[in-house]
C-alpha cells in the first residue's frame, strides 16, 4: 500500500492554497538573500553578460539566409531575424526582423516565449512558429509567411498543446496534437499522427499513424531532399527505443534495426548508431558503433554494413553531421573533443579536422546538407571565449565571430583528474581554479539520459563564480554520454546508485587532494541533476557545505504520474512494480529525508510553468523538511518553464540567487 502523502495538495500547480504557500516561501527567501548591495551588483553583472551586444549571434542556414533568435535588454522576449553571409561577416550586420516577440506579446496581451519554428524546404518561405505561455513545453502553433513577415491569415494553427508538426508541402503538414480523448500517450505527448490539408478543418485530417497509449510519443516527418523525397512515421515505446517506418504508397516498411539504435537517412545512405551490442550476419558490433549501408539495399534485405566508428574504453562518438558530400564526426577521448571527416565517395576515407585548444570543446553547429559542404564550427573552453568559424570540407576555415572575454581568466588553471568510484571505475572531472586559491568550490554534474557535460565557456559562471575567486568543478559521472551508450546504460534503473556513488567519489577526491574542504564545497544541479542533488542531500550530507537543487525530481514514488514523468520510466524504473520500487525507494529523496539529522543548508528552485518536471517535487520536499525543523530555502519562479526563466531578467535573478546562496553558506 502506498504511503500517505500529507503534502499532496502542493501538487495542485495553480491552486490558491499551493500558490499562497509558494508566495510565502518566495518572500522569505528573497527578503533574506536579495536585500543587500552585493546581490544587486551580482545580478546586474550576470544580466550584463546575458544582454551583451557583442555576444556571438549564433546562426543556422535555411536556404539563402542565416537565421538567428536574439534576446537583449531592449528585446527581452526576443527577435527572430535573418541576414546573408556577406552581411553577417560585418561587425554590425543588417538584420531583417521577421518577428518581434515583445511587440507580439504586448499586442496580444500574452506572455509569449519563443519555442522555435519549422520552415518549409526547399523554398523557406513558410514557417510553423511555436510560442508558449511563460516558457512551458506546451505551445501554440501558427503559420508564418517569411517573405511578408506576418502570420498567415486562415493558415495552419493549433491551440496550446504538446504538439508535433512538420511540413510535407506548402498545403499539407503532419500534425500530432491533442485531438481529444485517447489521442495522447500516458506521457502527455501525441499518440496519433495525421495529415492536415490547408483549408480543411483539423477534425477532417487523415490519420497516418497511431502509437500505443503507453508509448512516449508518435512522430512523422517528410524528407524533402531533392531526388530523395521520403516520408517516415513511427513511435517511441520508451525514451530510448524507436520503431521507425518508411511510408510508401504500398504501406509501411519497417527500418529493421534494434529498437534502441538511432537511425538517420541522408540521400542514398542509412546511418545506424548502436546503443547496445548487435550481431548481424555473424558480425558483432559493440554499443556505440556507427554503421553505414545503402538505404534501398538495406530495405530489401542486404546487410552489408560499413563500420564508420568503433568505440574503445576511452573514446566515444558524441555527434555526427552531414554536409552535402561528407559526414562529420565529433568524438570524445576522455571528454576531449576530436573532429573527423568521412567521405563515402572515396570508400569512407577518414581525415582529421582541427578541433581547437586542449581541454576545450568543439561543436559542429550547422551544415548545409542539401546544397554544399559548408559547416559552422564553435570552439570554446572554460577560460577560452567562444569562437565561431565558417569552413568548407577540404577548404579554408575562417573566423566569423569571436566573443570577448566576460571575466578575467589570467592566472586561472584548468586540469582534469580522475576519481575512483566505489566499484573501482575511474570517473573524470575538470577543475577550474582561480589564481588565488582558497575560496569556495562549486561542484556540478548531471548523470542521466546519455547527456555529456563538456568543458565549454560560460560568461555567467565566470562572472558570478570564477571571477569572484571561486573554484569550479564539473564531474563526468556515469549516466551521461561521455564514454558512449554503455556509460549511460550501466547506471540505469537498478544500477542508478552508481550515479550517486560516482558523484560522491568526486567530492571525496576533491577533499583528499586538498583542492577544497567539506566546509568550502558546495554543489548544484537541475532536473535529473536536481534528483542528484536530492540524493546528495539525503545520503551524503557529510560531504557538502551547501546544496542548490533546481527543477528537480524528488518524489520518485509519484514521478511517473506527474506531467511528462511516465516518459522517463526507461531511465529510472516503474515505481508501481514492487521489485522496481524497492531499488527506487532506496534513493528517492522525498522518502529518505528524516528529522533529527544534520543536513547542509539547501536552496530549492523551480518554476510554476514547468510542465515537464512537476513543481510539486520541490514544493513537497521543502514542506516536509520545514515540518521536520530544517531551515531550508525555496524559490519558485511563477514563469519560466523547465529552464526556470522566461527571459534574461529572470535568468539573471536565478543565477544570482544560486551563486549568492552558495557563496554565503560556504566557509572560506
**Residue 235 · residue 211 · CB < 8 Å:** yes
Residues 608, 610, 615, 616, Cα dihedral to 10°: 110
Which position has the grid cell 513545453? 137
Catalytic residue flag (residue 527): yes
Pairing of strands 602-607, 633-637: parallel
Which position has the grid cell 504520474? 561
**Residue 184 · residue 191 · CB < 8 Å:** yes
Which member of 527, 567, 588, 607 is catalytic? Answer: 527
C-alpha closest to that of 208 among 222, 197, 192, 184: 192
Report residue 38 CA to chain centroid gap.
31
How far apart, in whole angstroms, are the C-alpha atoms of residue 407 and residue 385?
A: 10
Task: Write a three-state SS string for 428-495.
Answer: EEEEEECCCCCCCEEEECCCCCCCCCCCCCCHHHHHHCHHHCCEEEEECCCCCCCCCHHHHHCCCHHH
Catalytic residue flag (residue 642): yes
C-alpha closest to that of 319 among 329, 311, 310, 332: 329
Burial (CB count <10 Å: 0-12, 13-18, 19+), residue 365 = middle
**Residue 222 · residue 195 · CB < 8 Å:** no
Q: What is the largest CA-CA distance in the chain?
A: 71
Cell of 289: 558503433
Find residue 241's DSSP bridge partners. Answer: 238
Number of H helices, E strands in the chain: 13, 39
How far apart, in whole angstroms, are the C-alpha atoms of residue 375 and residue 368?
A: 7
Cell of 131: 510560442
How far apart, in whole angstroms, are the C-alpha atoms of residue 139 and residue 158?
A: 8
How far apart, in whole angstroms, are the C-alpha atoms of residue 213 and residue 590?
A: 29
Which member of 524, 614, 617, 642 is catalytic? Answer: 642
Q: Specify the length of the chain in residues.
A: 668
Residue 208 backbone phi and psi in degrees, to 5? -115, -15
How far apart, in whole angstroms, are the C-alpha atoms of residue 366 and residue 122?
A: 17
For 49, 57, 86, the CA distances from 72, given in Å and listed in that order, are 10, 11, 24
Residues annotated as catalytic are 527, 642
Amino acid at each position: 500500500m502506498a504511503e500517505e502523502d500529507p503534502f499532496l495538495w502542493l501538487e495542485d500547480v495553480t491552486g490558491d492554497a499551493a500558490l499562497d504557500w509558494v508566495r510565502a516561501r518566495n518572500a522569505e527567501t528573497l527578503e533574506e538573500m536579495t536585500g543587500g548591495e552585493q546581490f544587486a551588483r551580482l545580478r546586474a553583472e550576470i544580466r550584463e553578460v546575458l544582454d551583451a551586444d557583442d555576444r556571438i549571434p549564433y546562426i543556422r542556414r535555411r536556404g539563402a539566409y542565416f537565421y538567428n533568435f536574439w534576446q537583449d535588454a531592449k528585446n527581452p522576449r526576443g527577435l527572430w531575424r535573418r541576414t546573408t553571409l556577406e552581411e553577417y561577416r560585418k561587425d554590425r550586420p543588417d538584420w531583417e526582423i521577421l518577428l518581434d516577440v515583445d511587440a507580439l506579446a504586448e499586442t496580444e496581451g500574452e506572455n509569449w516565449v519563443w519555442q522555435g519554428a519549422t520552415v518549409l524546404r526547399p523554398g523557406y518561405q513558410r514557417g510553423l512558429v511555436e510560442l508558449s505561455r511563460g516558457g512551458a513545453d506546451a505551445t501554440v502553433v501558427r503559420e508564418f509567411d517569411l517573405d511578408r513577415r506576418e502570420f498567415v491569415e486562415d493558415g495552419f494553427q493549433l491551440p496550446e498543446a504538446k504538439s508535433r508538426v512538420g511540413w510535407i508541402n506548402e498545403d499539407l503538414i503532419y500534425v500530432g496534437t491533442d485531438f481529444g480523448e485517447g489521442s495522447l500517450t500516458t506521457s502527455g505527448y501525441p499518440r496519433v499522427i495525421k495529415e492536415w490539408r490547408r483549408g480543411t478543418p483539423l477534425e477532417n485530417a487523415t490519420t497516418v499513424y497511431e502509437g500505443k497509449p503507453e508509448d512516449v510519443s508518435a512522430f512523422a516527418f517528410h524528407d524533402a531532399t531533392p531526388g530523395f523525397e521520403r516520408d517516415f512515421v513511427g513511435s517511441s515505446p520508451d525514451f530510448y527505443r524507436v520503431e521507425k517506418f518508411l511510408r510508401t504508397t504500398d504501406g509501411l516498411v519497417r527500418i529493421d534495426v534494434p529498437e534502441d539504435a538511432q537511425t538517420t537517412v541522408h540521400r542514398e545512405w542509412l546511418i545506424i548508431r548502436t546503443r547496445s551490442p548487435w550481431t548481424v550476419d555473424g558480425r558483432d558490433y559493440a554499443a556505440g558503433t556507427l554503421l553505414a549501408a545503402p538505404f534501398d539495399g538495406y530495405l530489401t534485405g542486404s546487410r552489408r554494413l560499413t563500420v564508420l566508428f568503433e568505440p574503445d574504453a576511452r573514446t566515444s562518438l558524441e555527434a555526427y553531421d552531414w554536409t552535402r558530400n561528407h559526414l562529420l564526426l565529433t568524438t570524445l577521448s576522455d571528454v576531449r573533443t576530436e573532429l573527423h571527416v568521412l567521405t563515402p565517395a572515396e570508400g569512407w576515407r577518414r581525415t582529421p579536422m582541427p578541433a581547437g585548444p586542449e581541454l576545450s570543446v568543439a561543436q559542429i553547429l550547422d551544415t548545409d546538407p542539401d546544397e554544399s559542404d559548408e559547416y559552422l564550427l564553435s570552439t570554446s573552453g572554460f577560460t577560452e571565449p567562444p569562437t565561431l568559424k565558417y569552413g568548407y570540407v577540404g577548404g579554408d576555415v575562417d573566423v566569423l565571430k569571436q566573443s570577448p572575454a566576460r571575466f578575467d581568466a589570467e592566472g586561472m588553471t584548468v586540469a582534469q583528474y580522475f576519481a575512483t568510484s566505489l566499484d573501482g571505475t575511474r570517473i573524470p572531472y575538470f577543475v577550474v581554479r582561480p589564481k588565488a586559491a582558497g575560496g569556495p568550490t562549486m561542484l556540478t554534474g548531471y548523470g542521466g539520459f546519455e547527456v555529456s557535460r563538456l568543458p565549454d565557456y560560460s560568461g555567467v559562471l565566470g562572472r558570478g563564480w570564477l571571477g569572484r575567486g571561486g573554484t569550479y568543478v564539473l564531474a563526468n559521472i556515469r549516466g551521461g554520454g561521455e564514454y558512449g551508450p554503455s556509460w549511460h546504460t550501466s547506471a540505469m534503473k537498478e544500477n542508478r546508485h552508481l550515479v550517486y556513488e560516482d558523484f560522491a567519489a568526486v567530492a571525496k577526491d576533491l577533499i583528499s587532494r586538498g583542492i577544497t574542504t567539506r566546509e568550502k564545497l558546495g554543489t548544484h544541479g537541475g532536473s535529473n541533476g536536481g534528483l542528484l542533488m536530492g540524493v546528495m542531500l539525503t545520503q551524503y550530507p557529510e560531504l557538502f557545505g551547501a546544496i542548490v537543487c533546481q527543477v528537480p525530481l524528488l518524489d520518485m514514488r509519484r514521478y511517473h504520474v506527474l506531467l511528462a514523468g511516465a516518459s522517463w520510466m526507461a531511465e529510472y524504473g516503474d515505481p508501481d512494480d514492487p521489485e522496481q520500487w524497492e531499488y527506487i525507494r532506496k534513493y528517492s529523496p522525498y522518502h529518505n529525508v528524516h528529522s533529527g539529522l544534520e543536513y547542509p543548508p539547501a536552496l530549492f528552485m523551480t518554476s510554476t510553468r514547468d510542465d515537464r518536471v512537476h513543481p510539486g517535487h520541490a514544493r513537497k520536499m521543502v514542506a516536509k523538511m520545514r515540518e521536520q525543523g530544517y531551515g531550508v530555502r525555496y524559490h519558485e519562479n511563477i514563469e519560466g518553464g523547465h529552464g526556470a526563466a522566461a527571459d534574461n531578467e529572470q535568468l539573471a535573478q536565478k543565477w544570482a540567487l544560486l551563486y549568492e546562496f552558495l557563496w554565503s553558506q560556504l566557509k572560506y
